[in-house]
Amino acid sequence: MTDKPNPLTTQEVARAVASQSDPAPADASIKIRARDVDFFYGQKQVLQGISMDVRERKITALIGPSGCGKTTFLRILNRMYETVKHARAEGEVVLDTDNIFELPLPNLRRRVGMVFQKPNPFPKSIFENVAYGPRVHGLANGARLAEMVEQSLRGAALWDEVKDSLQKSAFSLSGGQQQRLSIARALAIDPEVLLLDEPCSALDPISTAKIEELLFTIETRCTLVIVTHNMAQAARVADYTSFFLMGKLVEFNDTKTVFTNPAKKETEDYITGRFG
Amino acid sequence: MNRLTWRKWVNVVMSAVTALCALVAVAPLLFVLGLLVVKGASSLNWAFFTKLPVPVGETGGGIANAIAGSGQLLLLAALFGVPLGVLGGIYLSEFGGWAVPFFVRYAADLLVTVPSIVIGIFAYAVVVLPVGHFSALAGGFALGVMLLPMVVTNTEQFLRTVPVWLREGSLALGAGHWKTIVSVVVPAGLQGILTGILLGLARVAGETAPLIFTAFNNSYWNRGWNQPISSLPYMIWIYGISAYDDWHRQAWAAALVLLGLVLLVNVLSRLVLARGMAARKAT
């Protein structure tokens, strides 16, 4: 259900961006620092010299046409690319003060969670889905675990809908609910960063709106990085926006500036729909 | 005849021809079932299922020990073939490398084609000779060897159908490879794995040749895993080639029982599997 990004009229952009709060102060601390990141599938280079900062407790959107490398870059941040043979990342990515390539994987993924494009609940009950992460990391059991599950489900705005049916299979939920379950599952281990890979592209507009609202509440406890095909969504939701094109980071700035006063011509062309 | 009519008739004729061919393909099963019902149904009664065989000339014997024996042999076969087979299937599906998985897969494929009588002789050499007598254990071992490659191949096949994004969901939460396999991948593929095991058991339930050299036969209740044991296929064979009409009658009935059980397991397994797949697809 991915579609071409809608060309926004200047008025739409202005409206969307104006509905946000003021752009973040320039000294908001940096949660993830990427410098000169290159990425290869075998011999083929897919990302070139990506350098950007992800600011703490802000929403950073990665936008760009299909195949530009934004999802590839996202998946570097929690080293998910390592499941693919011959995939190789070079460069520097630092989470707070830790080099992510040297962190043990379970630690990295505890701190940097991920929500995927297609809701992917486990074939288990709703409760067990959310409890999976805490169980894996040995965070809690018994009553404390039940509390964590409830908190996470509340944090994903799903608790009221499922509190009486926690033992039901996760497959009994609708698509939008399953995606919120995936978010609850990711929140259950209290990550510092949450990566979202086009989380709404498989959902209807109402579910999409619910999740976008949710992102604002999660932002208060978590740094968010979201890949989106939907420029309007980036304009609605993100504090910062990165524009990727053909494996390169063309422009990175606060969302208002990127959409109303882009520095590069390619950015302007993309945003106004001259290509997609 | 104009072109349109011609095409319409071609459609009708070819539909009929292919339907007929399909029926012909299924016909042997229907014939076998029909013949068994005609010849054997009249002998089915409660005594048949619950009594032991009696000497020729006496009436009222049954196949109770053969049914129980088959059950025990299948249990042994499962104990031997299922854990090894499932773990082997997990290895082939989840762990990489080129050479070892290739050879394991190839060996499993070859093992399935080994004639069952050869497996019987193998079990004879490995279990019966050292111990000095026939036993249920030897029979179970032989059937287990036959079951093993089927379980391996089936398990691998169903684990491969578990989608990548399901595994990634687990990995992204910080779970390790083995934890992901045990907690997510295997439960997701479990229905298919279990169905494959049931179908495999149904298949080896009817094997006679491996039992000739291993479990042998027992006209009485089996007295222990280390003793010869009766089984349905064996009993059908012995009674079928005998000279006695009464035994022939019982063989027909026993064959009907065996086929009935096998078909029942097959149909039920496939139904359960189909429902499971439909439930997953609906989400």
The answer, for B262 touching chain A at a CB cutoff of 8 Å, is: no
Q: What is the mean pLDDT of residues B226-237?
A: 87
CA distance B159 to chain A (A): 14
Of A80, A107, A171, the CB nearest to B279: A171
The answer, for A79 touching chain B at a CB cutoff of 8 Å, is: no
Amino acid A19: pLDDT: 61
Of B173, B176, B184, the CB nearest to A189: B173
Task: Say what the ipTM of the complex is.
Answer: 0.87
pLDDT digits (tens, 9 = 90+) for B188-203: 999 899 999 999 999 9
Whether A80 and B183 lie within 8 Å, measured CB to CB: no
Whether A118 and B173 lie within 8 Å, measured CB to CB: no
Chain B CA closest to residue A182: B169
The answer, for B173 touching chain A at a CB cutoff of 8 Å, is: yes
For the cut 60, the answer to whether the pLDDT of residue A1 exceeds it is no
pLDDT digits (tens, 9 = 90+) for A257-269: 999 999 999 999 9
pLDDT digits (tens, 9 = 90+) for A114-173: 999 999 999 999 999 999 999 999 988 889 999 999 999 999 989 999 999 999 999 999
Q: Which two tokens stand for residue A34?
A: 């990427």
The answer, for B166 touching chain A at a CB cutoff of 8 Å, is: yes
For the cut 90, the answer to whether the pLDDT of residue B48 exceeds it is no
The answer, for A186 touching chain B at a CB cutoff of 8 Å, is: yes
- Three-class DSSP labels, chain B: CCHHHHHHHHHHHHHHHHHHHHHHHHHHHHHHHHHHHHHHHHHCCHHHHHCCCCCCCCCCCCCHHHHHHHHHHHHHHHHHHHHHHHHHHHHHHHCCCCHHHHHHHHHHHHHHHCCHHHHHHHHHHHHHHHHCCCCHHHHHHHHHHHHHHHHHHHHHHHHHCCCHHHHHHHHHCCCCHHHHHHHHHHHHHHHHHHHHHHHHHHHHHCCCHHHHCCCCCCCCCCCCCCCCCCCHHHHHHHHHCCCCHHHHHHHHHHHHHHHHHHHHHHHHHHHHHHHHHHHHHCC
Can you name the residues that pair with B37 across neighbouring β-strands?
none
Whether A122 and B179 lie within 8 Å, measured CB to CB: no
Whether B175 and A136 lie within 8 Å, measured CB to CB: yes
Residue type, A4: K
Residues 6 or more apart whose CB falls under 8 angstroms from that of B145 comprise B80, B81, B111, B119, B122, B123
Of A83, A108, A123, the CB nearest to B187: A123
Q: Is A220 helix (H, G, I), strand (E, B) or coil?
A: coil
Residues of B in contact with A136 (CB under 8 A): 173-175, 179
Q: For the stretch B11-47, what's the b/e string if a residue is b when 16 or more beta carbons lie within 10 angstroms of its beta carbon?
A: eeeeeeeeeeeeeeeeeeeeeeeeebeebbeebbeee
Give helix A205-218 / helix A175-187 axis angle, nearest 10°.
Answer: 20
For the cut 70, the answer to whether the pLDDT of residue A18 exceeds it is no
**DSSP code at position A253:** E
What backbone phi and psi angles, to 5 degrees, belong to A63?
-120, 165
pLDDT digits (tens, 9 = 90+) for B3-19: 999 999 999 999 999 99
Q: Which two tokens stand for residue B79?
A: 């104990």
Chain B CA closest to residue A131: B173
Whether A185 and B184 lie within 8 Å, measured CB to CB: no
Q: What is the mean pLDDT of residues B235-255?
A: 88
**Stretch among A109-113, A257-261, B96-100 having the lowest mean pLDDT:** B96-100
Can you name the residues that pair with A196 across neighbouring β-strands?
A115, A226
Q: For the stretch A21-37, what's the b/e string if a residue is b when 16 or more beta carbons lie within 10 angstroms of its beta carbon?
A: eebbeeeeeebbebeeb
For the cut 80, the answer to whether the pLDDT of residue A28 exceeds it is no
Contacts 24+ apart (CB under 8 A), A154-162: A155/A183, A155/A184, A155/A187, A155/A217, A155/A218, A156/A180, A156/A181, A156/A183, A156/A184, A156/A187, A156/A214, A157/A210, A157/A213, A157/A214, A157/A217, A158/A184, A162/A126
Residues of A in contact with B282 (CB under 8 A): 171
For the cut 80, the answer to whether the pLDDT of residue A11 exceeds it is no
Question: What is the model's pTM?
Answer: 0.80
For the cut 70, the answer to whether the pLDDT of residue A236 exceeds it is yes
Residues of A in contact with B165 (CB under 8 A): 116, 118, 120
The answer, for B133 touching chain A at a CB cutoff of 8 Å, is: no
The answer, for A110 touching chain B at a CB cutoff of 8 Å, is: yes
Residues of A in contact with B96 (CB under 8 A): 85
Amino acid B279: pLDDT: 63
Amino acid B228: pLDDT: 85
Q: What is the mean pLDDT of residues A73-85?
A: 93
Amino acid B181: pLDDT: 94
List, edge to edge, every strand of the sheet that includes A112-115: A112-115, A193-197, A223-227, A59-63, A240-245, A248-254
The answer, for B132 touching chain A at a CB cutoff of 8 Å, is: no
Can you name the residues that pair with A197 across neighbouring β-strands?
A227
The answer, for A107 touching chain B at a CB cutoff of 8 Å, is: yes
C-alpha distance from residue B177 to each of A136, A190, B90, B100, B186 (Å):
12, 22, 12, 19, 12
**Cα-to-chain-centroid distance, residue A266:** 24
Of B242 and B82, the one with more pLDDT: B82
Grade residue B282 by pLDDT with cuts at 50, 70 and 90. low
Report yes or no: B165 and A118 within 8 Å, Cβ to Cβ. Answer: yes
* CATH number of the structural domain A10-21+29-271: 3.40.50.300
Q: Rounded distance, CA B183 to CA A199, Å?
A: 24
